[in-house]
């Protein structure tokens, strides 16, 4: 089933029953509709649910793919020592090429809130926060909260925090810092939020898509959750697809699906693909090896990349090197300005790739870029600098002939009009507003 909302196509995978998407839905799902479909089921044994989450193998959908069961268990165990705990639903979708979290919050707020309710019960949270940077999302969530009775979250106090959208605002320590009243900028680690988070309390910060999977596990169990996906990447994931000369699309895809099948669904010819930008801007570039790949964490890791937040930009007419230059320029503008290595490193890498795009770089510039892509990794307070090094390193590793061609100022695509976007493959059209 497929629907088009404004310029965003929303579709489910053929022969895979949707767990998160409702393509035919128009506007936010109402409480009665959600409850009739089985939502807000009573939870009598939070520990048993946590065991099911562990067995399900649910991985975080925000980018890091960290096991959700481990994340919940760590804060729960700390709370059992008499310390209050907090849970944060992170819906600050900082990746411009991703739209999944905003779609869930705007269209299925009760699914997200139900997942947050279950997670709060598992960790026995005294406070739950929905953290967003999209005003329509905040409106939809507040409306959904107003439909619930006062006992829906038990003794957990629930609130919505709206923040100005930036790339770094969704990083977990930036979220905690903003909820605590400070700027939405990352802090040094340790401590991490599970050690000292909101109000100094142990805090679980979880992506809203991850939380949205909990009601399914609560209702159907871990074995049912694993009926799709792969052993190491179970379940489905939401993928924002851009590029390829097609309107943006949001698909619910079973892990392990063939990339070639995605191209067919999206209507892009395989022989037109030059590569992809994976995981939003964070996971870097992959060349045409992607054509034979499956979409799961283990396969993409072997390609030197990753699923990240599930955003995939398909490169057909756009030169991958010019795309890398635009992404690095974005990182240069969007870094928090707190770490010298990131502030200076993103600027330097952006300058070299822009010079390559314009045909004025030297071999010495490329040598410096290669060195920076290695030595700068891990030196920032958040993932921005790592994302930039991923883009630079993957460009050099995956497209060496393209880099050589630009050194010789021999790129027909760029000479005809180089790709140069402020926010590459940004998804603006949301529909259902």
Instruction: Give a yes or no: residue 187 inside a domain.
Output: yes
Final residue belonging to a domain, choices 288, 315, 342: 315
pLDDT at 7 over 50: yes
DSSP-derived pairing of the beta strands 236-243 and 2-5: unpaired
Do 208 and 85 belong to one domain?
Answer: yes
| Gap between the Cα atoms of 233 and 196, Å rounded | 30
User: Is 298 in a helix, a strand, or coil?
Assistant: helix
Reading the block at residue 76, the tokens are 């729960």
C-beta separation of 300 from 292 below 8 A: no
User: Is 206 in a helix, a strand, or coil?
Assistant: strand
Model confidence over 106-157: pLDDT tens digits? 999 999 999 999 999 999 999 999 999 999 999 999 999 999 998 999 999 9
DSSP-derived pairing of the beta strands 157-162 and 249-254: unpaired
Do 29 and 117 belong to one domain?
Answer: yes
Instruction: Give a yes or no: residue 49 inside a domain.
Output: yes
H-helix or E-strand containing 160?
strand 157-162
pLDDT of residue 3: 47
Residue 4 — pLDDT band, cuts 50, 70, 90?
very low
Q: Which domain holds residue 166?
A: 20-225
Do 65 and 168 belong to one domain?
Answer: yes
Reading the block at residue 332, the tokens are 């240069």
Final residue belonging to a domain, choices 202, 225, 248: 225
CATH number of the domain to which 303 belongs: 3.10.20.600
Residue 380 — pLDDT band, cuts 50, 70, 90?
confident
Q: Which letter does DSSP use for residue 376 in this model?
A: T
Reading the block at residue 9, the tokens are 């196509």
CATH number of the domain to which 364 belongs: 1.20.1440.230
H-helix or E-strand containing 11?
strand 8-12
Do 171 and 261 belong to one domain?
Answer: no
pLDDT at 347 over 70: yes
Nearest to 288 by CA among 307, 269, 264: 269
Distances (CA, A) of 99 to 314, 358, 397: 16, 31, 29
| Gap between the Cα atoms of 433 and 429, Å rounded | 10
Do 148 and 293 belong to one domain?
Answer: no
pLDDT of residue 6: 52
Inter-helix orientation angle 340-357/320-334, to 10° = 150
Do 179 and 218 belong to one domain?
Answer: yes
Q: Which letter does DSSP use for residue 131 in this model?
A: E
Do 62 and 181 belong to one domain?
Answer: yes
**Paired residues of 311 in beta bridges:** 240
| Gap between the Cα atoms of 39 and 114, Å rounded | 7
pLDDT of residue 266: 97
Q: Is 165 exposed, middle or buried (0-12, 13-18, 19+ CB in 10 A)?
A: middle
Handedness of CA 92, 95, 100, 106 (dihedral sign): positive
Do 290 and 363 belong to one domain?
Answer: no
Handedness of CA 103, 59, 301, 190 (dihedral sign): positive
C-beta separation of 236 from 17 below 8 A: no
Model confidence over 289-318: pLDDT tens digits? 999 999 999 999 999 999 999 999 999 999
| Gap between the Cα atoms of 26 and 3, Å rounded | 10
Do 141 and 121 belong to one domain?
Answer: yes
**Paired residues of 12 in beta bridges:** 252
Instruction: Give a yes or no: residue 423 inside a domain.
Output: no
| Gap between the Cα atoms of 77 and 174, Å rounded | 24
pLDDT at 431 over 50: no
Residue 430 — pLDDT band, cuts 50, 70, 90?
low
User: Is 209 in a helix, a strand, or coil?
Assistant: helix
Instruction: Give a yes or no: residue 13 inside a domain.
Output: no
pLDDT at 27 over 90: no
**How many structural domains are present in the chain?**
3
Do 276 and 144 belong to one domain?
Answer: no
Instruction: Give a yes or no: residue 386 inside a domain.
Output: yes
Percent of the chain with pLDDT over 70: 97
C-beta separation of 329 from 354 below 8 A: yes
Reading the block at residue 51, the tokens are 């065991």
Q: How many helices (H) and strands (E) does the chain have?
A: 18, 13
pLDDT of residue 174: 96
Do 117 and 87 belong to one domain?
Answer: yes
């Amino acid at each position: 089933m497929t629907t088009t909302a404004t310029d965003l196509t929303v579709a489910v995978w053929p022969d895979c029953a949707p767990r998160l998407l409702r393509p035919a839905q128009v506007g936010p799902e109402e409480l009665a509709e959600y409850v009739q479909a089985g939502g807000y089921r009573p939870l009598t044994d939070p520990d048993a649910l946590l065991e099911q989450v562990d067995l399900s193998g649910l991985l975080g959908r925000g980018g890091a793919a960290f096991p959700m069961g481990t994340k919940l268990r760590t804060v729960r165990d700390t709370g059992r020592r008499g310390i209050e705990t907090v849970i944060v639903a992170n819906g600050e979708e900082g990746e411009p090429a991703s739209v999944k979290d905003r779609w869930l919050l705007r269209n299925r707020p009760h699914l997200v809130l139900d997942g947050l309710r279950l997670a709060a019960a598992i960790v026995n949270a005294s406070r739950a926060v929905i953290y967003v940077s999209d005003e329509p999302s905040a409106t939809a969530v507040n409306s959904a909260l107003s439909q619930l009775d006062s006992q829906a979250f038990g003794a957990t106090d629930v609130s919505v925090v709206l923040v100005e959208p930036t790339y770094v605002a969704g990083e977990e320590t930036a979220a905690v810092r903003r909820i605590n009243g400070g700027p939405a900028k990352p802090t040094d680690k340790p401590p991490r939020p599970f050690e000292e988070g909101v109000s100094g309390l142990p805090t679980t910060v979880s992506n809203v898509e991850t939380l949205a999977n909990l009601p399914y596990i609560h209702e159907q169990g871990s074995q049912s959750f694993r009926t799709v996906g792969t052993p190491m990447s179970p379940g489905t994931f939401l993928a924002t697809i851009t590029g390829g000369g097609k309107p943006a699309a949001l698909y619910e895809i079973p892990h392990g699906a063939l990339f070639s099948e995605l191209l067919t669904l999206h209507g892009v010819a395989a022989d037109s693909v030059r590569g992809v930008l994976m995981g939003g801007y964070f996971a870097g570039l992959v060349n045409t090896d992607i054509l034979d790949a499956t979409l799961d964490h283990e396969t993409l890791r072997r390609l030197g990349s990753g699923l990240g937040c599930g955003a995939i930009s398909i490169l057909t007419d756009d030169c991958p090197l010019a795309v890398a230059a635009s992404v690095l320029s974005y990182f240069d503008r969007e870094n928090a300005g707190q770490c010298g290595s990131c502030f200076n490193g993103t600027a330097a890498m952006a300058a070299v790739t822009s010079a390559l795009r314009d045909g004025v770089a030297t071999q010495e510039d490329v040598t410096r870029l290669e060195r920076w892509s290695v030595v700068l990794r891990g030196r920032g307070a958040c993932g921005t600098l790592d994302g930039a090094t991923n883009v630079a390193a993957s460009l050099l590793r995956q497209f060496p002939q393209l880099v050589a061609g630009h050194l010789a100022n021999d790129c027909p695509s760029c000479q005809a009009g180089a790709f140069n976007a402020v926010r590459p493959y940004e998804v603006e059209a949301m529909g259902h507003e």
